[in-house]
Chains A and B, each alone.
Chain A
Amino acid sequence: MEADSKPKKSGARLCCVCNQNRAALKRPKTLEQICRECFYAVFEEEIHQVILENQLFKPGDRIAIGASGGKDSTVLAYVLSELNRRHNYGLDLFLLSVDEGITGYRDDSLETVKRNELQYGLPLKIVSYKDLYGWTMDEIVKMIGLKNNCTFCGVFRRQALDRGAALLKVDKVATGHNADDIAETVLLNILRGDIARLSRCTSIITGEDGPIPRCKPFKCTYEKEIVMYAYFKKLDYFSTECIYSPNAYRGFAREFIKDLERIRPRAILDIIKSGEDFRISTTTKMPEQGTCERCGYISSQKWCKACVLLEGLNRGLPKLGIGRTQGLNSDGKKDRKRDSRTPSIESKQCGSLEF
């Protein structure tokens, strides 16, 4: 070995797919070392296969992509747009954004979605909490304090997406939830004993019995790959943590998943697989689905969760609908004693508060 030659840079490995280009990343899914071009191809092809195998779309479908301006939804809009073109899915794609009214976070990320509208040529619709509910998240947090913020926001956002989807007259909503998100949700539901949600949270299509079904094309896509894809392709996305999220319980599940990924990246997909294969014991009491008395939305209680939370906000009762000890019967009086014939939040099965 010549003493004056530069030692070979330890990162110079070849792509294991094409064996020609330098490897640019190590895929957590397969531990393969792959170059940029092959990565784009395999990333896009895998999503295409997920779409086909799960029959997520059919020709002529109008699809709203839940777009926040963040990494997942931006990449989803880009890839769906591209696959729609390349494989002739025959879809009419739209961007649907929800403005929760979080200053310094949502107003900035909406600017990103507006740019995405131009960059990808997809028409954009924005629905706001203020218009739908009369409350912005900032106003809500002022009233309820810094706890349970995600509970309100998550419940309201789901309904907001449905309202927006109805306005756009779409057949389905596609969201950017990725494998890491779903693995976190499986763990969260286990930690909380939420059996009803546990049984549904790994489904790639949900809400087929509701107003507008939803699907998650990124169910098997690793967050790391989404970020690398966006980085290499220089896709425009907004990346700041919501100012109210540091107090969310999900943060613990996320930290755990990230630590697990470092040791054994496959764990993320394996957790999802475990979640898919759970079978609920036949003796477990499960909530029955009906409709909300107040707004007609799908609900397993008398009132859907959004209506309960809104009632709480409007009456200055920030804890209504939070936790399991508060109840409100239909004429607005707080329960003094449990009446087994009147459904109340108190009498609900553990972990089954939902709409």
Chain B
Amino acid sequence: MHLTLEFGGGLELLCKSVKFHNVNVDLPKGADKLSMRDLLAWVRTNLIKERPEMFMKGESVRPGVLVLVNDCDWELSGQLDTTLEEKDVVVFISTLHGG
């Protein structure tokens, strides 16, 4: 599945300072849908090059990281259970820095 990912609020530093990533994510074995849960695991393995604890805690994002799917708060679509579709845009913004 082709997706566009954006990392902001300092998270880009964990992905070699690259803010935008066009990725192709394989569905998990035997699944017919890709969930945010699956995507997060994929991102941790494939995109996060250092300090993964800054991005994730357990199977979700670290508290303080906002997630938007197609410019909508993932809290509206079920957080980890949000299902993704082809060409979706997912944005991760960290709020954990000085203001």
A227 to B99 Cα, complex, angstroms: 10
Given A24-B71, A241-B10, does the pair A10, B83 have CB atoms closer than 8 Å? yes
Report whether A70 and B98 are in contact in the complex, using a CB–CB cutoff of 8 Å: yes
Report whether B96 and A254 are in contact in the complex, using a CB–CB cutoff of 8 Å: yes
Contacts of A245 in B (CB 8 A): 98
A24 to B99 Cα, complex, angstroms: 23
Cβ-based interface call for A261 (8 A): yes
Contacts of A255 in B (CB 8 A): 63
- Nearest-neighbor residue (CB-CB) of B57 within chain A: A259
CB under 8 Å from chain A, chain B span 43-76: 62-64, 66, 68-73, 75-76
Report whether A9 and B76 are in contact in the complex, using a CB–CB cutoff of 8 Å: no
Report whether B93 and A72 are in contact in the complex, using a CB–CB cutoff of 8 Å: no
Cβ-based interface call for A71 (8 A): yes
Contacts of B68 in A (CB 8 A): 231
Contacts of A226 in B (CB 8 A): 99
- Nearest-neighbor residue (CB-CB) of A36 within chain B: B71
Cβ-based interface call for B26 (8 A): no
Report whether B99 and A70 are in contact in the complex, using a CB–CB cutoff of 8 Å: yes
A33 to B76 Cα, complex, angstroms: 7
Report whether A240 and B93 are in contact in the complex, using a CB–CB cutoff of 8 Å: no
- Nearest-neighbor residue (CB-CB) of A256 within chain B: B63
Cβ-based interface call for A202 (8 A): no
Contacts of A258 in B (CB 8 A): 62-64, 96
Across chains A and B, the number of contacting residue pairs, with CB separation under 8 Å, is 86
Cβ-based interface call for A217 (8 A): no
A164 to B76 Cα, complex, angstroms: 44
Report whether B95 and A25 are in contact in the complex, using a CB–CB cutoff of 8 Å: no
- Nearest-neighbor residue (CB-CB) of B88 within chain A: A9
Distance (whole angstroms) from the CB of B12 to the closest CB of chain A: 9
Distance (whole angstroms) from the CB of A54 to the closest CB of chain B: 20
Count class of interface residues, chain B = 20 to 34
Given A10-B82, A70-B97, A73-B99, does the pair A259, B72 have CB atoms closer than 8 Å? no
Distance (whole angstroms) from the CB of A87 to the closest CB of chain B: 24
Count class of interface residues, chain A = 35 or more
CB under 8 Å from chain B, chain A span 3-50: 9-11, 13, 22-26, 33
Report whether A11 and B69 are in contact in the complex, using a CB–CB cutoff of 8 Å: yes
Report whether B76 and A231 are in contact in the complex, using a CB–CB cutoff of 8 Å: no
Contacts of A10 in B (CB 8 A): 77-78, 82-83
What does the 1/0 interface line of A253-289 toward B look like (CB < 8 Å)?
0110011011000000000000000000000000000
Report whether B72 and A231 are in contact in the complex, using a CB–CB cutoff of 8 Å: no
Contacts of A185 in B (CB 8 A): none
Given A25-B73, A25-B75, A262-B63, does the pair A227, B95 have CB atoms closer than 8 Å? yes
Report whether B99 and A26 are in contact in the complex, using a CB–CB cutoff of 8 Å: no
- B72 CB contact (under 8 Å) in A24, A70, A72, A254: A24
Report whether A227 and B77 are in contact in the complex, using a CB–CB cutoff of 8 Å: no
- A11 CB contact (under 8 Å) in B10, B66, B72, B96: B72
Among B8, B69, B71, B95, the one with the most A-chain Cβ atoms within 10 Å of its Cβ is B95
Contacts of A262 in B (CB 8 A): 63
Contacts of A352 in B (CB 8 A): none
Cβ contacts A to B, 7 pairs, < 8 Å: A9-B85, A11-B70, A22-B72, A72-B99, A224-B66, A241-B96, A254-B64
Chain A contact residues, CB within 8 Å of chain B: 9-11, 13, 22-26, 33, 68, 70-73, 176-178, 181, 223-224, 226-228, 231-232, 239-242, 245, 254-255, 258-259, 261-262
Contacts A23-B73, A258-B62 aside, 19 further interface pairs with beta carbons under 8 A come to: A9-B77, A10-B77, A11-B69, A11-B76, A11-B82, A22-B72, A24-B76, A25-B73, A70-B97, A71-B9, A224-B66, A231-B8, A240-B13, A241-B97, A241-B98, A242-B97, A254-B96, A258-B63, A259-B63
**Closest 10 A/B residue pairs (Cβ):** A72-B99, A258-B63, A11-B77, A25-B73, A26-B75, A70-B99, A258-B64, A241-B97, A239-B9, A70-B98
